[in-house]
């Protein structure tokens, strides 16, 4: 199992986005995460590299076409690890897969059999699931290998014969002047084999529709758009060809308390003006379920951010955790008793410029501006 983020989701664009939209989104994100603007922030540096890699791929029409069809596998020699993963020998193979039909038929694997299609499954998880990781079962309807014929497409006890027209190659050649034109064999339709007695269960396809229950292991620290690949759990290939992969796209549900940026969690915390003035302590529950005590310094203003180190999200496939940042909002009381009003009037009578330096400074500027 590998965890990868989709290039389109990295750039925050739709898969149908045009070149101008791709370029505009990349520029905005590159400026946001550029190392010069986020000195010493490893999360921003990693994000900058990721969006740059995504843009490098999607700005090129040929690379984008390959990515749209094969995903990250298009640029990884030797495939993605794990049994059943499709291997690609290089970029020339990618173009043969994409444009092969213009040159006489689609590229074949083995004896003309086509690899099964990759599938996508969208899964919503909670922030707590993303923090701890989880193992979850999903149910998918997918083409699977036919149990009756074991994927051969032929009735059990019968044999599959090599196509006499193309001698098992799946393609035929014809001389046209100085050129030799190669096209898909019309007799076996590129399979290279002919089934005299097709399996009744799958009608010679070697695969049937099934409902499968699969286990998805989600590691701690995943984020919105993280992709989990289940190798070989996509569509079964025709007549014994390799199966495709199943890609699980994760979507983290909105949380009632926290907002997330990378491994950092943000929370808004309203406090009373007395706590802001005199100082105190508040308790915030973390995504880990633990209670975190946040000390409020005396004289805290609205908008101040208090950071709790190591109380954020875990690093995906790494060590350590991010931070919890609490944004303070000082709440002005709206319903006061007679006693409270009396006390506040007494307090107002003792106020001077030293108590509220920002207020005093602002009105001093206003007075100067008015002459």
Is residue 306 domain-resident? yes
Is residue 277 domain-resident? yes
Domain span including residue 325: 258-352
- pLDDT tens string 192-244: 888 888 888 888 888 889 999 999 999 999 999 899 999 999 988 877 788 89
Is residue 347 domain-resident? yes
The count of structural domains within the chain is 1
Is residue 334 domain-resident? yes
Cβ pair 93, 115 in contact under 8 A: no
Q: Where are the alpha helices (DSSP H) in 100-254?
A: 127-132
Nearest to 72 by CA among 251, 228, 252: 228
Sign of CA dihedral 140, 143, 147, 151: negative
The structure tokens listed for 80 are 């993605």
Tell me the average pLDDT of the chain: 82
Is 41 among the annotated ligand-binding positions?
no
**pTM to 2 decimal places:** 0.59
Q: Are strands 324-331 and 305-308 parallel, antiparallel or unpaired?
A: antiparallel
Is 57 among the annotated ligand-binding positions?
no
Total residue length of the chain: 371
Element (H, E) at 324: strand 324-331
Is residue 189 domain-resident? no
Is residue 268 domain-resident? yes
Average pLDDT over residues 334-339: 92
Numbers of helices and strands, H then E, in the chain: 9, 16
In which region does residue 185 sit, left (phi positive, over 0), alpha (psi from -120 to 50) or beta (all else)?
beta
Within 10 angstroms of residue 200's Cβ, the number of other Cβ atoms is 10
Residue with tokens 């292991």: 217
Poorest-pLDDT segment among 105-119, 133-147, 285-299: 105-119
Residue 328 sits in a domain whose CATH number is 2.60.260.20
pLDDT at 66: 81
The structure tokens listed for 353 are 């410029």
- pLDDT tens string 123-160: 999 999 999 999 999 999 988 989 888 888 888 888 78
Cα 57 to Cα 64: distance, rounded to the nearest angstrom:
6
Highest mean pLDDT: which of 9-18, 167-176, 299-308?
299-308
Cα 80 to Cα 88: distance, rounded to the nearest angstrom:
10
The structure tokens listed for 142 are 């997918």
Sign of CA dihedral 96, 97, 98, 100: positive
Is residue 103 domain-resident? no
Is residue 276 domain-resident? yes
Is 146 among the annotated ligand-binding positions?
yes
- pLDDT tens string 24-61: 898 888 888 887 777 778 888 888 888 888 898 898 88
């Amino acid at each position: 199992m590998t965890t990868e983020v989709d290039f389109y989701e990295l750039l925050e664009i739709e898969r149908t986005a045009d070149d101008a939209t791709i370029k505009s989104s990349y520029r905005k994100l590159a400026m946001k995460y550029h190392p010069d603007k986020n000195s010493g922030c490893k999360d921003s540096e990693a994000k900058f590299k990721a969006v740059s890699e995504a843009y490098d791929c999607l700005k090129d029409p040929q690379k984008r076409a390959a990515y749209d069809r094969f995903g990250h596998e298009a640029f990884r020699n030797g495939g993605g690890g794990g049994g059943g993963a499709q291997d690609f020998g290089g970029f020339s193979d990618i173009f043969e897969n994409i444009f092969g039909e213009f040159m006489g038929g689609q590229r074949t694997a083995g004896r003309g059999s086509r690899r099964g299609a990759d599938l996508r499954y969208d899964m919503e998880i909670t922030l707590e699931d993303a923090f701890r990781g989880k193992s979850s079962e999903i149910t998918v309807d997918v083409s699977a290998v036919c149990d009756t014929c074991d994927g051969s497409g032929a009735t059990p006890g019968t044999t599959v014969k090599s196509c006499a027209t193309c001698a098992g190659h799946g393609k035929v050649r014809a001389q046209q002047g100085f050129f030799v034109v190669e096209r898909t064999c019309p007799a076996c339709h590129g399979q290279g084999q002919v089934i005299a007695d097709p399996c009744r269960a799958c009608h010679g396809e070697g695969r049937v529709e099934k409902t499968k229950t699969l286990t998805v292991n989600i590691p701690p620290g995943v984020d919105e758009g993280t992709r989990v690949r289940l190798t070989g759990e996509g569509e079964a290939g025709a007549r014994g060809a390799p199966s495709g992969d199943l890609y699980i796209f994760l979507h983290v549900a909105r949380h009632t308390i926290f907002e997330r940026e990378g491994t950092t969690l943000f929370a808004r915390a309203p406090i009373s003006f007395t706590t802001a003035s005199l100082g105190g302590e508040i308790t915030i529950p973390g995504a880990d379920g633990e209670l975190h005590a946040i000390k409020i310094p005396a004289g805290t203003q609205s908008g101040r951010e208090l950071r709790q180190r190591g109380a954020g999200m875990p690093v995906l496939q790494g060590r350590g955790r991010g931070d919890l940042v609490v944004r303070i909002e000082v709440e002005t009381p709206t319903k006061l008793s007679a006693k409270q009003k009396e006390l506040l009037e007494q307090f107002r009578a003792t106020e001077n410029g030293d108590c509220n330096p920002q207020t005093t400074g602002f009105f001093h500027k206003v007075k100067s501006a008015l002459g």
